[in-house]
A and B are shown apart, each in its own frame.
Chain A
Amino acid sequence: MSEIMIKVDHVSKKYLLGQIGMTTLHAELQRLDARIRRKEDPTKRIGARDYEKGESFLALDDVSFEVSKGERVGIIGRNGAGKSTLLKLISRITAPTGGTIGLNGRVASMLEVGTGFHGELTGRENIYMNGAILGMTRKEIDAKIEDIIDFSECRQFIDTPVKRYSSGMYVKLAFSVAAHLDSEIMIMDEVLAVGDMEFQKKCLGKMNDVSNAYGRTILYVSHNMNTIRQLCTRCIVLDRGKLIFDGGVEEAIARYTEVGSACFEREIDLSTASRHHVLRKKVLFQKAEIHRGNNVYSSDESLDLTYTLDADGDHSDIRLMMILFSSDGTRIGKTESESFSVHCGANEIPVSVPLEGLADGQYYFEISILQRSRSFGRDKLDCIPNMIPINISNLEVFGFKGDRWWSNYWGHIMLKPIRLLNGHGDS
């Protein structure tokens, strides 16, 4: 077993609830006076919940783990799980309430890009500034400045004050400094989520290189599972301050999505949902029941669910229609069922919606009930927008395991691979 670089031993961090940091000395004195005279606190907001003195919130609760040299550990968890608190403790920004953290090397923390950048200083001066804040000496920076400038792709503007930089250049410059640090431990909080696609790929590649070549230890927090897959060799899952999983990347991601689907409803009540275009209440959605226990699918799976339709009589020639939207509201496509008949009362209709070709991302549906009519072709009997959210997460993009789908550039549909004609393929 190789050398241990980070050892987190039963670490907790407690925050006081209620008025953290108090307000002013005056208010504090008023409070003291009230306590002496046993009156009600005059500074308390009327109707505010009365936090007992000492009532606290454990942002981290007895977390222990070890990281060896050269490991790249991803930390995942929902918002408020304690990821950022953990990084803040390891990077010594604030002290833990209990437990100890042992570090075997210099720590470079990138909880933000461009810490200490000053708009009036030039790019070159800011490299020195930022490098020094991150713990480099002048000599070390002197030795690396050319590499840093090359990596940042900002050579042309390096002697211009950074206040005139575009935000993209700013970020590139800042990341370049951090990527060239000599520290043995690097801590990153989703900073790669910036810059353009090419640069992000370059950053991930650089992180992989330094970790492999120099045995650098990396802690990386992200909500983007694909960058976690690309970068990390091991993963830790936090949930409400507790460490709930420590192990392989894929299992950790599965565990995390499980945690994430805790708030996911399997049964969706559609009877009270807001709907439009209901002319005659002939057939209406009652509820939808998702067969699976979570809403994460890969594109070779299908979304299986059972609709319950409420009909006021027997009707035939009924169809279901589902329009797919991406999370930003773009219309992606439409699918329809074959026609079927319903009888008076509740009808259970199990359906399977193929998700083939969908790229990674979050989607939702607009669901409708249609009936063929003699006058207008077809009537819309019911229509409910913004329903049934699903997540698509593919393990492979065109056969490359762990590659990421860039929906900003590539859209939402993964078209079938291009076929080489006349047998020109490698195989």
Chain B
Amino acid sequence: MDKEKQFLTTITSEHKVFDLHLRETFRYRDLIFLFVKRDFTAMYKQTILGPLWAIIQPLLTTLVFTVIFGKLAKLTTADAPGAILLPGFLFYMAGNICWSLFSATVEATSITFLKNRNTMGKVYYPRLVAPISTALSNLISFAIQFVLLIGFLLFFVLTGKAVIRVTPALLMLPLLILQLLILSVGCGVIVSSVTTKYRDLAMLVGFGLQLWQYASPIAYGLELVPESIRGIYLLNPVTPIITTFRWALFGSGYFSLTYYLISWGMTLLIFFIGLILFSRIERTFMDTI
């Protein structure tokens, strides 16, 4: 028998810095879809309204924003001087659905290991399957909300309450959503890797996301931010995504290629740090969780 025989799988104590089993993860794509389906079925079983809940929540948030930040606080909804002012409702809704995609994904992927320890402790499957499927189920909710947003947009345009410009920038929308997903999975995966040992960070996530939301132009337009700190403000990787999303969708607003590229750079950096941490932790997290 040949002693140096190659095995299909070799398990060692050594660890490659960047070993993500991507091919294997692809082989488990059926599992990803089943996880997404399970999340959806389980979430809406025994509810009367079912998937309607996916739109009720952002609708209510948008209404609250329209009343509190728009009507009472009278915060500006302009991203750039001279931009066409949209009905506040559309402005808030666009920001809200993007933000809820981001925050829901961060929150859900940040408990990947904790939530799946029952299955992960008994069976091997590529661990990345879990955060990917979480991100996909949030993407489905987002898609439903996006359709609703388009519906409102058409309603406002047809009733003459809003003017939008259709520009080629519309093609950027999928790219923006992809970026938002990558960023949120990156953040969530970093948190989930650290929380296998320290649970504190999980407590911080909800609170941190709330603060982050106020540091992003969701409840107000970019114009509200004083010129002096605008440079730092735009370094928040979420900010250029949100403003560019509105710019691309409504055809007016704020777009800066420099800050948009910086945002991409930070997104990829966070994502890769997350993946490296994740691949380090996934091998032995069952011993410490």
Contact = CB atoms under 8 A, between A and B. Distances in A.
Interface string B19-52: 0000000011011001001100110010000000
Interface in A86-100: 88-100
Interface stretch (A16-24, A216-224, A385-393, A399-407): A16-24
A90 B31 CA distance: 21
A415 interface: no
A134 interface: yes
A104 B5 CA distance: 10
Contacts of A266: none
Interface in A119-139: 120-121, 125, 128-129, 132-138
B15 interface: yes
A103 B9 contact: yes
A116 B123 contact: yes
Interface stretch (B114-122, B177-185, B261-269): B114-122
Given A89-B11, A101-B11, A116-B119, A20 B200 contact: no
B80 interface: no
B235 to A, nearest CB: 26
B171 interface: no
Contacts of A136: 30
B77 to A, nearest CB: 40
A121 B30 contact: no
Interface residues of A, number: 48
A1 interface: yes
Contact of B123 (A104, A115, A128, A137): A115
Given A92-B11, A102-B10, A109-B122, A138 B199 contact: no
A7 interface: yes
A112 B11 contact: no
B28 to A, nearest CB: 7
B289 interface: yes
Contacts of A287: none
Interface in B181-215: 197-201
B284 A95 contact: yes
Given A95-B15, A104-B8, A28 B198 contact: yes
B38 A129 contact: yes
A79 B151 CA distance: 63
Given A25-B200, A132-B34, A97 B13 contact: yes
Nearest to B195: A25
B123 A98 contact: no
B121 A26 contact: no
B283 interface: yes
A253 interface: no
A112 B122 contact: yes
Contact of A95 (B13, B28, B30, B121): B13
A96 B37 CA distance: 34
Contact of A115 (B28, B119, B287): B119
Interface residues of B, number: 39
B125 interface: yes
B11 A135 contact: no
A136 B286 CA distance: 23
Interface string A14-52: 010000111011101000000000000000000000000
Contact of A118 (B7, B8, B38): B38
Given A24-B199, A101-B10, A133 B125 contact: yes
B198 A103 contact: no
B1 interface: yes
Interface in A153-212: none
Nearest to A89: B11
Most buried by B among A105, A115, A116, A118: A116
A4 B5 contact: yes
Given A109-B122, A109-B123, A116-B119, A104 B7 contact: yes
Contact of B289 (A21, A28, A89, A120): A21
B29 to A, nearest CB: 8
Nearest to A112: B122
Contacts of A138: 30
Contacts of B197: 21-22
Contacts of B256: none
Nearest to A101: B11
A183 B34 CA distance: 20
A88 B286 contact: yes
A112 B13 CA distance: 25
Contact of B1 (A4, A20, A92): A4
Nearest to B9: A103
Nearest to A7: B7
A185 to B, nearest CB: 10
B228 interface: no
A125 B284 CA distance: 30
A326 B148 CA distance: 69
A93 B45 contact: no
B288 interface: yes
Interface string A288-316: 00000000000000000000000000000
A91 B121 CA distance: 10
A28 B194 CA distance: 13
A368 B15 CA distance: 64
A263 B31 CA distance: 47
Interface in B45-85: 45
A95 B122 contact: no
Interface in B98-144: 118-125
Contacts of B286: 88, 93-94
B233 to A, nearest CB: 29
A45 to B, nearest CB: 19
A104 B2 CA distance: 14
Contacts of B258: none
A284 interface: no
A135 B10 contact: no
A102 B7 contact: yes
The 3 closest A-B pairs by CB, nearest first: A102-B7, A92-B124, A132-B31
26 contacts: A1-B1, A4-B1, A25-B198, A26-B200, A88-B286, A92-B9, A93-B122, A93-B124, A93-B286, A96-B13, A100-B11, A100-B13, A102-B9, A104-B7, A105-B8, A107-B9, A107-B124, A109-B123, A115-B119, A116-B119, A116-B123, A120-B42, A129-B38, A132-B28, A132-B34, A135-B28
Given A91-B123, A133-B119, 8 more contacts: A24-B198, A93-B120, A95-B11, A98-B13, A111-B123, A120-B42, A129-B38, A133-B123
